[in-house]
């Protein structure tokens, strides 16, 4: 019996029958998948879209609010919500209207409009940092923040937590193994040794944090205030405050990436826990699902950035390139959508609804696992909720990873998909959006109950 309490042979039998069911029920998706193989690499527009639990990719027809419909006409309750990109529901009405209005008024010009000014004001008010920059996605925001941090501090080493993910930024693709920083497994085409200028340490480990910073070469600690990409790992009480204190003590900057943890509430964990970072990053849902991300900086950091610009401009004679920015960053469509999203979608009342539902879901999971005598833990962070195949919530990325049981996770996800429920792939994360209803939560719990009853009845 595996540590999750479910046997591999039961999972194999269960999975075989769910795969057959998927194939039987999705002829149009299967036909599109076949056709796609001719001109899309691996039959999908981005390679990881074929890594889900389905035997063949599922093709979507339409998505609105908390639901989407596939090309075979099945309706799904969506608890994945684009892995946070649509945490406030698919195509929110104000964003849909904004897209329609902007559609005929210019999509991208390389020049700002009034929306940009309003976005700056709204971001400053909400996230309590005075100055902002806009990028095309959170990966870029983190990449540019890292450039600024290195330039300001004149230090090269980036400090991250083991098991982190901050987008496809090269410098964060490291893990902590036996006291050393090593490459993450699976990297394609890695040309140089990332451990030269990146250092990885375990989350919630104050001694490791101080030792890493005390070397005096760390430009910044880049972190999520709670880890969300290796399963969820919450900080010990006070740990994030210690991150702030120790980075200040050793002259390193603190970058807080709230791209996922913005699920917590209006200003994210940063506002709730009064973290006062040097840089603050948020992407994904900030423009209602239209590609966009932002980073905010404190007053002293903005001043240091101006000094950097002045020096570099003198050195380059004004003919250089900062290594930041892409043509479509801060385009007119994204700015319009971010403005209405901040004004009308990411509101206090939206959060109130989402938080109450996520809490109902977490209670439902706990009661369900207890009933089935499964020692699985459930972690909540605002609208985000995760169950993990371990008895106590993990405190580090390595512990969270040790609780992975991929075959079980994929079997449960596929069972739910076959019954019209989608949860986030690769781990067991759920999000509630403003259109999610109590009845949706109850259906997820009921279907998971059925899945577990079936699995546990199979010969082990």
Applying CB under 6 A, the residues found at the interface with ligand PMP are 83, 137-139, 142, 165-167, 224, 229, 257, 259-260, 283-284
Residue 293 or 448 having the CB closest to ligand PMP: 293
Tell which residue, 300, 301, 299, 266, has the closest CA to residue 285. 266
Close Cβ partners of 196 (under 8 Å, ≥ 6 residues apart): none
Residue 83 or 93 having the CB closest to ligand PMP: 83
Q: Is 401 helix (H, G, I), strand (E, B) or coil?
A: helix
Contact 424, 260 (CB under 8 A): no
Name the packing angle between helices 206-214 and 239-249 (round to 10°).
Answer: 20
Q: Residue 82 class from Cβ within 10 Å (0-12 exposed, 13-18 middle, 19+ buried)?
A: middle
CB of 388 to ligand PMP, least distance (A): 17
CB of 165 to ligand PMP, least distance (A): 5
Q: Is 296 helix (H, G, I), strand (E, B) or coil?
A: strand
Residue 54 or 138 having the CB closest to ligand PMP: 138
CB of 223 to ligand PMP, least distance (A): 9
Residue 89 or 283 having the CB closest to ligand PMP: 283
DSSP string, 240-282: HHHHHHHHHHTT-EEEEE-TTGGGGSTTHHHHHTT---SEEEE
CB of 293 to ligand PMP, least distance (A): 7
Number of Cβ within 10 Å of residue 303's Cβ equals 13
Residue 138 or 422 having the CB closest to ligand PMP: 138
Residue 53 or 261 having the CB closest to ligand PMP: 261
Q: Rounded to whole angstroms, what are the CA distances from 189 to 192, 193, 197?
A: 9, 12, 18
CB of 203 to ligand PMP, least distance (A): 13
How is the chain split among helix, strand and coil, in percent rounded to 5? Answer: 45, 15, 35
Residue 253 or 304 having the CB closest to ligand PMP: 253
For tokens 């209006």, the residue is: 266
Q: Are strands 131-135 and 293-297 parallel, antiparallel or unpaired?
A: antiparallel
CB of 444 to ligand PMP, least distance (A): 22
Listed in sequence order, the DSSP H helices in 372-429 are 397-402, 406-417
Beta pairing partners, 131: 297
CB of 137 to ligand PMP, least distance (A): 4
Report the alpha-carbon distance of residue 317 to residue 121 in Å, rounded: 33
Position of minimal CB gap to ligand PMP = 167
Residue 151 or 256 having the CB closest to ligand PMP: 256
Q: Residue 263 class from Cβ within 10 Å (0-12 exposed, 13-18 middle, 19+ buried)?
A: buried
CB of 139 to ligand PMP, least distance (A): 3
Residue 294 or 414 having the CB closest to ligand PMP: 294
CB of 141 to ligand PMP, least distance (A): 8
> In the numeric block, which tokens belong to residue 282?
């948020």
Contact 169, 201 (CB under 8 A): no
DSSP H or E segment with residue 437: none
Residue 227 or 362 having the CB closest to ligand PMP: 227
CB of 181 to ligand PMP, least distance (A): 19
């Amino acid at each position: 019996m595996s540590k999750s309490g479910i046997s591999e042979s039961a999972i194999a039998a269960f999975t075989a029958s769910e795969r057959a069911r998927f194939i039987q029920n999705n002829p149009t998706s299967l036909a599109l998948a076949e056709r796609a193989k001719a001109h899309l690499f691996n039959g999908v527009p981005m390679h990881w879209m074929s890594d889900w639990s389905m035997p063949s990719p599922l093709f979507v027809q339409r998505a609105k609010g908390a639901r989407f419909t596939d090309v075979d006409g099945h309706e799904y309750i969506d608890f994945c919500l684009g892995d946070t990109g649509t945490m406030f529901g698919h195509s929110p009405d104000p964003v849909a209207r904004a897209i329609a209005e902007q559609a005929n008024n210019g999509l991208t010009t390389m020049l700002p409009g009034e929306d940009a000014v309003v976005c700056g004001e709204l971001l400053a008010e909400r996230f309590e940092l005075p100055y902002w920059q806009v990028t095309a996605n959170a990966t870029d925001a983190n990449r540019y923040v890292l450039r600024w941090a290195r330039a300001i501090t004149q230090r090269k080493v980036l400090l991250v937590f083991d098991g982190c993910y901050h987008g496809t930024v090269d410098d964060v693709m490291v893990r902590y193994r036996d006291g050393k920083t090593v490459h993450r497994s699976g990297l394609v085409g890695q040309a140089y040794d990332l451990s030269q200028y990146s250092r990885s340490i375990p989350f919630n480990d104050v001694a490791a944090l101080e030792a890493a910073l005390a070397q005096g070469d760390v430009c910044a600690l880049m972190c999520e205030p709670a880890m969300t990409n290796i399963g969820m790992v919450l900080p010990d009480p006070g740990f994030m405050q210690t991150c702030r204190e120790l980075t200040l003590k050793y002259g390193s900057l603190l970058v807080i990436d709230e791209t996922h943890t913005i699920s917590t509430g209006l200003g994210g964990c940063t506002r709730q826990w009064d973290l006062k970072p040097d840089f603050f990053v948020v992407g994904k849902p900030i423009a209602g699902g239209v590609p966009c991300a932002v980073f905010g900086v404190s007053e002293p950091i903005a001043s240091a950035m101006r000094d950097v610009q002045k020096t570099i401009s003198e050195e380059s004679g004004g003919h250089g390139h900062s290594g930041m920015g892409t043509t479509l960053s801060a385009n007119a469509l994204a700015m319009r959508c971010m403005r209405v999203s901040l004004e009308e979608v990411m509101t206090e009342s939206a959060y109130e609804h989402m938080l109450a539902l996520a809490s109902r879901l977490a209670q439902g999971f706990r009661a369900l696992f207890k009933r089935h005598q499964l020692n699985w833990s459930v972690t909540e962070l605002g609208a985000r909720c995760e169950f993990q195949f371990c008895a106590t919530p993990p405190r580090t990325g390595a512990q969270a990873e040790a609780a992975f049981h991929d075959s079980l996770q994929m079997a449960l996800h596929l069972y739910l998909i076959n019954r019209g429920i989608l949860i986030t792939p690769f781990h067991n994360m759920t999000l509630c959006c403003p259109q999610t209803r109590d009845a949706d939560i109850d259906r997820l719990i009921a279907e998971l109950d059925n899945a577990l009853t079936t699995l546990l009845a199979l010969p082990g």
